[in-house]
Amino acid sequence: MNTRPDTLEDIVSEDANCETPSNDLEALLERINRLASGEEPLEERPAQQIVAEKPAPAPARPRPSAALPFREPEEAGKDRKEWCPVEPKTLAEAGITDGQLEHLALKCLGACGDLTGHELAENHCVPFRLIEPILANLKQAQFVAYRGSAPMNDYVYQLTDLGREQSKKLTEYCSYFGSAPVPLETYIDSVSEQTLTKVHPTKADLERAFSDLLVNQNMLRRLGPAVNSGRGLFLFGFPGNGKTSIAERITKAFGDSVWIPRAIGIQGEIMRVFDPALHEEMPLEMPSGPLHSRAFDKRWVRIRRPTIVVGGELTMDFLEVTAGTGNNVSEAPLQLKSNCGTLVIDDFGRQRMTTDVLLNRWIVPLEKRYDFLRLVNGKKIQVPFDQLIIFSTNLEPKDLVDDAFLRRIPYKIEVPDPSEEEFRKLFTIMAPILGMEYNQDSVDYLIDTHYKPINRPFRCCQPRDLLLQIRNYCNYLDTTPTMCREYFDYAIENYFAIM
């Protein structure tokens, strides 16, 4: 007979000769975690006295949407804490039912074949202790059978004939079998905890966000209040002056990371939120060891605060819930995927739909900060609309929209042409990046010959583009890329051929 302990609690209980009640053990483990993270000072007492002392009763368990204070390793000396989803202790705290987890397990076994209990728990992003009784129920109902034993008191599970038939029926209704979904109410609470309106970037935050761009102080002075508003803004000006680059970096001023669910469950329908094509994962670095293995809910993903950029390809379908590749599985719209981040509408006015259609779709969400979505099954739900909307355009905002909409976008910021001093500074920045030595004489020749005589305006993109022309030309000639008059003449001839 197998007498190995199943869990960490069993191991600790055996060491204590089974004298520690389960509630006391939970409190003891939580206190050990606090001591390890430095949140509670360790008193100078003998170790035997600390272990023998009966701990206080465990505090009430928070709701799934509660915030778990977590101190990042690199922030150990600071007071900054980030919101973190608490790992559920029960299925009720997770917001899922026994039946939902049974269905996910059956569909997963039908699609992937034989799996251990721990592999199923990892696939559904739930603790093993929650899925273990579910698998026992499926075994008793003869939907699954043991294929063999596995380490850590686990088994390899396979579907029976009855189980395969049930898995096929469930897949025909809903083909999703990934991470257990997070309830919509829990997601709404998480957005409220991580909302942009609670973050007020300072001048230092903006300077850090734009550290890799040449942005003058006047531009930062205008951007600062607009970013703090969290309402949205227009960036307009001539093409090539960095409107898109500015919009992409604004998100950094709000902080590095947020948590989003992999999928949301809405009364039987699954809506995927995490999108690897748009979201960049930032895995949480935690000390190794069993005491830290239950720090957060694995159904959530820690990502870099999202910055989603769409241009002329934007259509109304991007802003509505769309049917996924499987049955009863839908894909979240762009504005929901960009919550707690930035959504950039690039080349505004050149979309495949008119500006009136787009603005009428968002006129209420921009005012109320919530949106209504219609699911694939026809149900209508209310979701947060919590992102900084940036409209980037080469056209005048007043020529694109009416006064009613301009009132809802209170900040209109022009991105002007660079001055001659800034234009020269861009060459000094870009030359070493592209593997060239900066040459002041050649830049003087470029400006005095090809710009000033014909009043050609400076653009922020031109130093980079001209130096790229020179580098490519030198690669063709098999020579070292060099800034010189001859090469600048060649680059200007190509770059401004029809301009």
- Provide the phi-psi class of 114: left if phi over 0, else alpha when psi is between -120 and 50, else beta: beta
The CB-side HSE value for 425 (13 A sphere, CA atoms) comes to: 10
Over residues 237-258, mean pLDDT: 86
- Return mean pLDDT, the chain: 82
Q: Which two tokens stand for residue 92?
A: 């009720």
| Residue 315 contacts residue 350 (beta carbons within 8 Å) | no
Neighbouring-strand partners of residue 145: 158
Query: pLDDT tens, 92-123?
Result: 999 999 999 999 999 999 999 999 999 999 99
The string of DSSP codes covering 350-414 is -SSS-HHHHHHHHHHHHHHSEEEEE-TTS-EEEEE--SEEEEEESS-GGGTS-HHHHHHS-EEEE
**Interatomic CA distance for residues 116 and 144, integer angstroms:** 12
287 neighbors 276 (Cβ within 8 angstroms): no
Determine phi and psi for 183, rounding to 5 degrees.
Answer: -60, 150
β-bridge pairing 300-304 and 182-183: unpaired
310 bridge partner residues: 345
Contact 222, 412 (CB under 8 A): no
Q: Please report which confidence band the pLDDT of residue 404 belongs to, taking 50, 70 and 90 as the band edges.
A: confident
Residue 117: its H or E element: helix 117-124
Sign of CA dihedral 234, 235, 237, 239: negative
Residue 290 has pLDDT above 60, yes or no: no
Tokens 């209990």 found at:
117
Residue whose structure tokens are 């690199």: 74
Q: Which two tokens stand for residue 304?
A: 């870099």
Nearest to 32 by CA among 21, 47, 19, 17: 47
Domain ranges of the chain: 8-57, 97-178, 184-414, 420-495
Angle between helices 8-15 and 22-37 (to 10 degrees): 100
Q: Is the domain defined by 420-495 classed in CATH 3.30.565?
A: no
Nearest 5°: the CA angle 159, 165, 168 is 100
Query: Is the predicted pLDDT of residue 42 greater than 70, yes or no?
Result: no
Per-residue pLDDT band for 288 (boundaries 50, 70, 90) equals low
> In the predicted model, what is the mean pLDDT of residues 2-12?
45
CATH of 184-414, one of 2.60.40.10, 3.90.1150.110, 3.40.50.2300, 3.40.50.300: 3.40.50.300
pLDDT exceeding 90 applies to what percent of the chain? 49
pLDDT digits 0-9 by tens, 405-436: 777 788 888 888 999 999 999 999 999 999 99
* R_g over Cα of the chain: 29
Q: With bands split at pLDDT 50, 70 and 90, how would you rate the model's confidence at 15?
A: very low
In CATH, what number does 97-178 get? 1.10.10.10
Q: Which helix (H) or strand (E) holds 343?
A: strand 342-345
What span, in angstroms and rounded, lies between the C-alpha atoms of 433 and 380? 51
Among 57-71, 81-95, 192-206, 312-326, which is the least confidently predicted range? 57-71
User: 115, 86 in Cβ contact below 8 A?
Assistant: no
Distance between CA 135 and CA 101 in Å, rounded? 9
Residue 55 has pLDDT above 90, yes or no: no
- DSSP, res 198: G
